[in-house]
Amino acid sequence: MHQHHRALGLAASPFGTAVSGAAEIAKLKPVQPVTLLRPHAARRAARFFVEKFPGRSLYAVKANPSPDLLRVLWDGGVTHYDVASIGEVRLVNETLPHATLCFMHPVKAEEAIAEAYFEHGVRTFSLDTLDELEKIVEATATDGVAATDLNLLVRLRVSSEHSKLSLASKFGVSPDELKPLLLAARQAADALGICFHVGSQAMTPAAYAEAMARVRDAIVEAAVTVDIVDVGGGFPSSYPGMEPPELETYFAVIHESFEKLPISYSAELWCEPGRALCAEYASVLVRVERRRGEELYINDGAYGALFDAAHIAWRYPVALVREPESNVRPMGFSFYGPTCDDLDHMVGPFELPADVQAGDYIEIGMLGAYGCAMRTGFNGFGTEARVIVEDEPMASLYGAVAERRSNVVKL
């Protein structure tokens, strides 16, 4: 495998060498999965949000914490980062010392809050209980004197009915605590905000319109001055069976709803895209090790980049990488990963030419979000190579639709 790595031109930094696409790598017959990185796609997504979203965009680091990706997004104009743990705080602060970090997990250790505030300059924190507010105030106090520079965002619980993955049950202030929490946070905050998350992969802008109506009700009920409204993440990418409307329609609905809120003209609008900024950043080239009818045994799986495909039946775009290309009619396949665990099974179905066989290579797309970031070393299968490719991702919501593997966009 070391020989393959050298042949792929990999160095300590993956941005030293670029190739045209998956076909060029498949010719080298790599034994392990190869992650194909598309920095140009992530930079384009960053610029899209920076230029078109009618407010400030924070990258949700949990979607993919790769330092290389963080730098690409920074170069694309993203300066604020949604971090959910002290580990992410340290990572982003080390990678991008001038970035603004927002600690948006509503339940945090007091020690993590204190380190984030005093050592890493974090001033923005989310919360959904009075207990968490008290914890933040105590952890950021100096010699018993409360901090006066906190941005505190109260997280509402809103519906996830329009999204493919719910985020409605774990976090969100309870109705009976909403008013007192907003009032108390207003007293402790330099800037008070309200935030929410409609769930991952929201398939209609109505999700945000309905959530913003909930924000309006909360402001009216508590009669507080709100300085920040954060609509969270949930902005969709394109997957098989999940073709969302254009993102500009989401932005328009959010802007219209924001303009109708009873807030001052100086109030800020934020969002926290994760998947939408990084899904197109990476794909994975895998090898078929065995075929058993409609089941393909491949060298990556549930404990690698295909966690979501196995555990929540997420369907990713796939393509057979073979020259010459197959002209056989496609059929649906399921995948088994390389481990000895029955759970290492991706049902799909994944549409591929019916003549796919052992030794073939398959590119699995849209794995920049919640894909490579989920890798483990379970069962000894954890090795991966990375290489830059210049072709377009399998599915893109940004700009003109390019013909796959023909419209080369360089970083």
Q: Is 367 helix (H, G, I), strand (E, B) or coil?
A: coil
Whether 104 shows a pLDDT value over 60: the answer reads yes
Cα distance between residue 183 and residue 158, in whole Å: 20
> In the structure, what pLDDT confidence band is assigned to residue 41 with cuts at 50, 70 and 90?
very high
Average pLDDT over residues 254-270: 95
Whether 404 shows a pLDDT value over 70: the answer reads no
Whether 185 shows a pLDDT value over 60: the answer reads yes
pLDDT at site 121: 97
pLDDT tens digit sequence for 200-229 = 888 899 999 999 999 999 999 999 999 999
> Which fold, 40-278?
TIM Barrel (3.20.20)
Average pLDDT over residues 343-368: 95
When the candidates are 1.50.10.10, 2.40.37.10, 1.10.3720.10, 3.40.50.10680, the CATH number that belongs to 2-38+280-389 is 2.40.37.10
Residue found by looking up tokens 């010719």 in the block: 27
Whether 29 shows a pLDDT value over 70: the answer reads yes
> In the structure, what pLDDT confidence band is assigned to residue 408 with cuts at 50, 70 and 90?
very low
Packing angle, helices 110-120 and 86-95, rounded to 10: 20
Please say whether the dihedral angle defined by the alpha carbons of residues 131, 136, 137 and 141, taken in this order, is positive or negative: positive
Of 105, 50, 97, the residue nearest 70 (C-alpha): 97
* Cβ within 8 Å of residue 101, ≥6 positions away: 80, 81, 83, 89, 92, 93, 116, 120, 121, 122, 124
Average pLDDT over residues 181-203: 94
pLDDT at site 396: 75
pLDDT at site 281: 96
The span from the first CA to the last CA of the chain, in angstroms, equals 28
Higher pLDDT, 220 or 161: 220
> In the structure, what pLDDT confidence band is assigned to residue 159 with cuts at 50, 70 and 90?
confident
**Which tokens in the block code for residue 334?**
């399921």
pLDDT at site 5: 43
**How high does pLDDT run on average in the chain?**
90
Least confident of 5-19, 125-139, 172-186: 5-19
Cα distance between residue 342 and residue 332, in whole Å: 20
Q: Which residues of 19-53 are buried (b: 16+ CB within 10 A; e: fewer)?
A: bebbbebbebebebbbbbbbbbbbbbbbbbbeeeb
Please say whether the dihedral angle defined by the alpha carbons of residues 187, 61, 46 and 75, taken in this order, is positive or negative: positive
Whether 61 shows a pLDDT value over 50: the answer reads yes
State what percent of residues in the chain have pLDDT above 70.
Answer: 92
**Which tokens in the block code for residue 73?**
């997004």
Of 118-127, 152-161, 387-396, which has the strongest mean pLDDT? 118-127
Cα distance between residue 85 and residue 122, in whole Å: 12
Q: Identify the helix (H) or strand (E) that includes residue 212.
A: helix 206-222
> Phi and psi for 356 in degrees, rounded to 5?
-60, 145
> In the structure, what pLDDT confidence band is assigned to residue 402 with cuts at 50, 70 and 90?
very low
Whether 277 shows a pLDDT value over 80: the answer reads yes
pLDDT tens digit sequence for 327-349 = 999 999 999 999 999 899 999 89
CA distances from 297 to 234, 262, 360 (A): 32, 56, 11
Q: Is 193 helix (H, G, I), strand (E, B) or coil?
A: strand
Least confident of 58-62, 164-168, 283-287, 383-387: 164-168
State what percent of residues in the chain have pLDDT above 90.
Answer: 76
> Phi and psi for 335 in degrees, rounded to 5?
-115, 145
Q: Identify the helix (H) or strand (E) that includes residue 295.
A: strand 295-298
Cα distance between residue 370 and residue 307, in whole Å: 8
> In the structure, what pLDDT confidence band is assigned to residue 14 with cuts at 50, 70 and 90?
very low
Among left, alpha and beta (phi > 0; psi -120 to 50; other), residue 356 is beta
pLDDT tens digit sequence for 293-324 = 999 999 999 999 999 999 989 999 999 999 98
Domain boundaries, the chain: 2-38+280-389, 40-278
